[in-house]
Structure 1
Amino acid sequence: MAQTLSRLFLSSLLLLLLSPLSLAIRTHVTKPSKSSALLNFQKSQAQKLIKSFNLSPKHDINTGNGHHAVDESPVGGPMMVEKPLRLNVLGDPGNNSIQDLGHHAGYYRLPDTVDARMFYFLFESRNNKSEDPVVIWLTGGPGCGSELALFYENGPFHIANNLSLLWNDFGWDQASNLIYVDQPTGTGFSYSSSANDTRHDEIGISNDLYNFLQGFFKLHPEYVNNDFYITGESYAGHYIPAFASRVHQGNKANEGIFINLKGFAIGNGLTDPEIQYPAYPDYALDMNLIQQSDYDNIESELVPPCKQAAPLCGTNGSATCIEAYMACTPIFNEIMNIAGNINYYDIRKQCVGQLCYNFSNMEKLLNEQSVRDALGVGDIEYVSCSSTVYEAMTMDWMRNLEVGIPALLEDGIKMLVYAGEYDLICNWIGNSNWVNAMAWSGQKGFTAASNVSFVVDGAEKGVMKSYGPLTFLKVHDAGHLVPMDQPKAALEMLRRWTQGSL
């Protein structure tokens, strides 16, 4: 088993939207020569993984390429600069003409940074922008741009093979005013020329997002009274609770514009690693990825070291978080070693060679000069996923972000945790386990609540249970990317949840 573990660490399978990167932290290594070797290993493995999604960013992090953005926000100028977004979209947008729809793109100059600019999209509701909620979406990684969700999951349009844009009948702008942000700094079109602006933890990230919201609602006071919701998936299971807590804290302290936070939703997220990592063998056995003998070996040899190390990381992060990461990663790696070439985001599928998903049209589209001109980014090149941002956040990986959630629930802020049933990496069992284990005043009521069907158009699309402000939903026939796999059900989930009828 020792030889197996050694081999597994050297051949770790890296994941894009959420990937356990073995031996990733140079601070864990004392000898400079080994540190350099591990850094090179990180880079090569991250690049290999990005290629498995047919992505090929030219840069490890977005530095702004000389600040040649058409509408960037200069120091001393306005904090937020936004322009109407004019893109050619084929087909009928529904009950509206394209001229009636408010599509915007812009940059926000982040305060308390050297040079950081956050890029964002705003798509006004196709239904009723004055009444529908404002919903912000955070993509995971850490280090992947929001455009992955925009074009392949729940945005207003999809990309055709010829790079034309087609209306998405199930875009979340059908039920909300929808914001996408490229974050942390250095991902997507967000940039800084200074390495000092690279974020390493949830404090920096949540402060940046809170400041962005202050700028957004200052520029768009017409949305201040609308309900506000935070959503996202994968590593955003870390971002979202920290961000929600930061908004709630700002509201209580009267720091700035009051943000009408009503709830937050985590899709197939990593939130409490201490509970979620030991759930891997349970899910793998339940889905016939491993046999009972494999399960017994993993439970006896790999799970105990993880359970011992993970609590030592806690919420603050230190060298113990690296040790916890290295103790827990072999659980997943051993399952993948047994299961073979499955797509760990959707175990119904096989990866063909290195290719598990093909998101290359996104990069092609966003690098077209006419599109970059429409976005106002000028010469700034798109970084689909930043390996540098990923590495910077590795110390954050094993931290428990569940700890701040009970206080939000006690104050009546709603939480929805949903998970596609065929996702391995952030599987529904691990998510259900941490939600049920969370200590709050409604814990007993939630655990005792009955499961009910989530029905869309007369068909069961999932199973859920709710108590008070908390809802957990297992989505049928979906993997890690629920809005991509079940677009109509995902839109209906959002609509009902924000309207209080889920």
Structure 2
Amino acid sequence: MTEPTFFFISIAISISFCFIIQTHVLASSNSNNNPFPKEAHPTKTGYLPVSTTSSSAMFYYFYEAQNSTLPLSQTPLLIWLQGGPGTSSMLGNLYEVGPWTFSEKSFTFRPNSGAWNRLFGLLFLDNPIGTGFSVAASQNEIPTDQNGVAKHLFAAITTFLKLHPEFKHRPIYISGESYGGKYIVSIGYYILKENEGLSDSGRVNLVGVTIGNGATDPETQTLTHAITAYHAGLINDKQKEELEKIQMEAVTLAQNLKWSEAADAQTKALTNLQEMTGLATCYDYTRKDHPYHYKDWMTELLNMAEVKKTLGVNESLVWVYHNSDVRAAMYADLMKSVKFKVEELLRSNSIRVLLYQGQWDLLDGPVQVEAWVKTMEWEGIVEYLNAERKIWKVNGEFAGYVQQWKSLTNVVVLGGGHFLPADQPINAQAMIEDWIFQRGIFGNSSSFGFM
């Protein structure tokens, strides 16, 4: 889409909002042309402004807890941020952790047995602006770095809390996956710093962050792809050496602050990895054909007039799974690290950090995450690295491994790839619930109490 076209469409949509914060409480009626059963409707949807000087706004959809064991005022609130950059959080909602998932075979919804809103409220944000159903008044307003992303997210989250005062004191956890691992850390860090200057009544009650298969420290992670594929038997020694040269080129360019060139080299390395291995997807090296067909059915579903009406979205807004304008704006950010922000969150002694990875992810899996975690400058890192890596079971079945020290927990989940909650829904659900409530294996090493 050209910039003039993007600008025209965005302005037309923004004008329709009339500069009013919108909250759409969904109707109970259901049209015969609408595949959304009323039971699958979000509790609330709407738009949250990201600036007082612009009509740009972030789209949200919220599902209240299905079976909270606590009063709602104490029920944790999870915020989900998708990656990309430029991928809509509808992916996390309809394919991974939302209360209802979608079957493209029959074009129908079905309850998600591994939903993350069983015990928690679940808030999805289309971030950055321009992503999904979110609106950028102009292409120039799309953030180009993590500070810009965090500033917009902070404005959106605090507005949501002001619109719904009953959420004010609920414990907040920010979660998501992939490139969202940078968003999660950045907004967590931003909240931490903003809270320092606010009174108790004005602070955001952030308790923890959860990063799934995160692209958190690209410099370190990029150097691990060749060796991971080699030890998995996917490439030979000659291919490993060839790939390592390209990986080092990407890292060297990043170290010299040539960010766009570094992103080009990183893309080249990942393209070569895909070609060398012949895999259907590097997101899960066990899959023999490409399993991820969600782009087509989500695009069809979310562009239906009745579905847009259900979600409270202007019918003229075209939903795309991945916004190329957002990726272009964020391109120079791809190889930048946010590891130092993780270190600050851990040093705060008030915010817990959960890292989790699917076993079969070649891009942001266990090897990549361990590589950057062990380089952290945090006073607890030695104790963490020396902590026992425990065998983790769910309902008596072997589920993976857990390693933790104080506020840092890392989980490797067996039998899954990059989109772990979709691959192992029950185990992922058990993980997030037990970690938040610090139950079982997740309560053995932490000095933190549930807030």
Tell whether the structures are fold-level matches, with TM greater than 0.5. Answer: yes
The corresponding residue for 1:391 is 328
The corresponding residue for 2:338 is 401
Equivalents in 2 of 1:357, 1:154: separation in Å? Answer: 17
Quick one: structure 1 residues 395 and 296, their matched pair in 2 at CA, closer, same or farther if it must change by over 3 Å?
A: closer
- Structure 1 stretches lacking a partner, 5+ long: 1-38, 44-58, 90-96, 314-319
The corresponding residue for 1:422 is 360
The one-letter amino acid paired with 1:418 is: Y
Q: 2:312 aligns with which of 376, 385, 402?
A: 376
The corresponding residue for 1:110 is 50
The one-letter amino acid paired with 2:54 is: V
Q: 1:83 aligns with which of 17, 21, 25?
A: 25
Equivalents in 2 of 1:339, 1:159: separation in Å? Answer: 31
> 1:226 Cα deviation (Å)?
1.4
Q: 1:158 aligns with which of 66, 81, 101?
A: 101
| Preserved CA contact (<8 Å) 1:228 1:260 | yes
Q: 1:262 aligns with which of 207, 230, 245?
A: 207
Equivalents in 1 of 2:95, 2:30: separation in Å? Answer: 17
Query: Aligned ranges for residues 421-460 of structure 1 at < 5 Å?
Result: 421-460=359-398
| Preserved CA contact (<8 Å) 1:268 1:419 | yes
For residues 212-269 of structure 1, give each alpha carbon's deviation from its aligned partner in whole angstroms, at most 9, with x where no partner exists.
Answer: 1111111111121111100000111111111101111111111783111111011111
- Higher mean displacement: 363-372 or 394-403: 363-372
Equivalents in 1 of 2:225, 2:162: separation in Å? Answer: 44
| Preserved CA contact (<8 Å) 1:265 1:417 | yes
Q: So what's the TM-score if we normalise by structure 2?
A: 0.88
Equivalents in 2 of 1:463, 1:451: separation in Å? Answer: 6
Q: 2:285 aligns with which of 329, 347, 351?
A: 347
For residues 265-306 of structure 1, give each alpha carbon's deviation from its aligned partner in whole angstroms, at most 9, with x where no partner exists.
Answer: 11111111110000101210121111233224444x334434
> 1:332 Cα deviation (Å)?
2.7
Per the alignment, in what secondary structure is the counterpart of residue 231 of structure 1?
A: strand
Equivalents in 2 of 1:232, 1:493: separation in Å? Answer: 14
Are 1:473 and 2:419 matched, yes or no?
Answer: no
The corresponding residue for 1:250 is 194
Q: 2:256 aligns with which of 312, 321, 330?
A: 312
| Preserved CA contact (<8 Å) 2:177 2:214 | yes
Count of matched residue pairs? 426
Q: So what's the TM-score if we normalise by structure 1?
A: 0.79
> 1:166 Cα deviation (Å)?
1.6
The corresponding residue for 1:3 is none
Are 1:486 and 2:424 matched, yes or no?
Answer: yes
Q: 1:217 aligns with which of 143, 147, 161?
A: 161
The corresponding residue for 1:364 is 300
Q: 1:182 aligns with which of 93, 104, 126?
A: 126
Q: 2:240 aligns with which of 282, 288, 295?
A: 295
The one-letter amino acid paired with 2:75 is: D
Quick one: structure 1 residues 268 and 60, their matched pair in 2 at CA, closer, same or farther if it must change by over 3 Å?
A: farther
The corresponding residue for 2:73 is 130
For residues 136-195 of structure 1, give each alpha carbon's deviation from its aligned partner in whole angstroms, at most 9, with x where no partner exists.
Answer: 000011001111110010001011333332211221110210000111111111113322
Are 1:226 and 2:170 matched, yes or no?
Answer: yes
Are 1:201 and 2:201 matched, yes or no?
Answer: no
Equivalents in 1 of 2:216, 2:171: separation in Å? Answer: 24
> 1:68 Cα deviation (Å)?
7.9
> 1:329 Cα deviation (Å)?
3.9
| Preserved CA contact (<8 Å) 2:73 2:169 | no
| Preserved CA contact (<8 Å) 1:61 1:388 | no
| Preserved CA contact (<8 Å) 1:449 1:465 | yes
The one-letter amino acid paired with 1:368 is: M
Equivalents in 2 of 1:273, 1:362: separation in Å? Answer: 29
Per the alignment, in what secondary structure is the counterpart of residue 66 of structure 1?
A: helix
Equivalents in 1 of 2:8, 2:180: separation in Å? Answer: 20
Equivalents in 2 of 1:436, 1:287: separation in Å? Answer: 22
> 1:404 Cα deviation (Å)?
1.3
Q: 1:141 aligns with which of 38, 59, 84?
A: 84
| Preserved CA contact (<8 Å) 1:80 1:216 | no
Equivalents in 1 of 2:28, 2:45: separation in Å? Answer: 10
Equivalents in 2 of 1:81, 1:479: separation in Å? Answer: 35
For residues 410-430 of structure 1, give each alpha carbon's deviation from its aligned partner in whole angstroms, at most 9, with x where no partner exists.
Answer: 112111111111111222201
Quick one: structure 1 residues 208 and 294, their matched pair in 2 at CA, closer, same or farther if it must change by over 3 Å?
A: same
Are 1:67 and 2:7 matched, yes or no?
Answer: no
> 1:69 Cα deviation (Å)?
8.8
Quick one: structure 1 residues 370 and 276, their matched pair in 2 at CA, closer, same or farther if it must change by over 3 Å?
A: same
Quick one: structure 1 residues 65 and 211, their matched pair in 2 at CA, closer, same or farther if it must change by over 3 Å?
A: closer
> 1:338 Cα deviation (Å)?
1.3
Equivalents in 2 of 1:405, 1:258: separation in Å? Answer: 20
For residues 360-380 of structure 1, give each alpha carbon's deviation from its aligned partner in whole angstroms, at most 9, with x where no partner exists.
Answer: 222222222222111111322
The one-letter amino acid paired with 2:45 is: A
> 1:327 Cα deviation (Å)?
4.0
Equivalents in 2 of 1:64, 1:163: separation in Å? Answer: 30
Equivalents in 2 of 1:291, 1:325: separation in Å? Answer: 25
Are 1:500 and 2:438 matched, yes or no?
Answer: yes
- Higher mean displacement: 140-149 or 338-347: 338-347
Are 1:192 and 2:136 matched, yes or no?
Answer: yes
Equivalents in 1 of 2:329, 2:46: separation in Å? Answer: 26
| Preserved CA contact (<8 Å) 1:272 1:401 | yes
Equivalents in 2 of 1:223, 1:471: separation in Å? Answer: 26
For residues 101-156 of structure 1, give each alpha carbon's deviation from its aligned partner in whole angstroms, at most 9, with x where no partner exists.
Answer: 97111111222452202110010001223332000000011001111110010001
Per the alignment, in what secondary structure is the counterpart of residue 426 of structure 2?
A: helix
Are 1:121 and 2:61 matched, yes or no?
Answer: yes
Per the alignment, in what secondary structure is the counterpart of residue 262 of structure 1?
A: strand
> 1:444 Cα deviation (Å)?
0.4
- Structure 2 stretches lacking a partner, 5+ long: 32-37, 443-451
The corresponding residue for 2:217 is 272
